[in-house]
Amino acid sequence: MANKEAKPVPFSAMAGSGTTIEIAGKQYQLTVLKVKESEEFTQDNVNFGSQYLTLMDPDAKATLVKWLGRHLFTETGEPVTLEIIENDDWTVADIKTFWRKLVDFSG
């Protein structure tokens, strides 16, 4: 029996081309997680709760920086860094939005 609440995976996710998302009033290009990254992503134990704690923990902060740079790009195609999100005036809650959109978009 099919899950009636399941959402179809967007074609852009299936094709690996990415999608445009808005965070903190700015447009970014988000790319999907690859199958070969799934184990690494799982092992990184991403915190989907309070992102304040992520920013205070050096290991969790490094994980954030790694996945931002791999899967989120500016409108000009530049990999997003911690400096970029600070300059773009992200809130702590915006970091949680990034994590959720990455996982949701990746299917």
The per-residue pLDDT for range 31-58, each reduced to its tens digit, is 999 999 999 999 999 999 889 989 999 9
Give the DSSP per-residue string, the chain: ---TTPPPPPHHHHHT--EEEEETTEEEEE-PPPGGGHHHHHHTT---S-HHHHHHSHHHHHHHHHHHHHHEE-TTSPBP-HHHHHHTT--HHHHHHHHHHHHHHH-
Q: Model-level pTM?
A: 0.81
Q: Is the pLDDT of residue 17 over 80?
A: no
Look over the chain and give the mean of its residue pLDDT values, rounded to a whole number: 88
Sign for the pseudo-dihedral over CA of 15, 82, 38, 22: negative
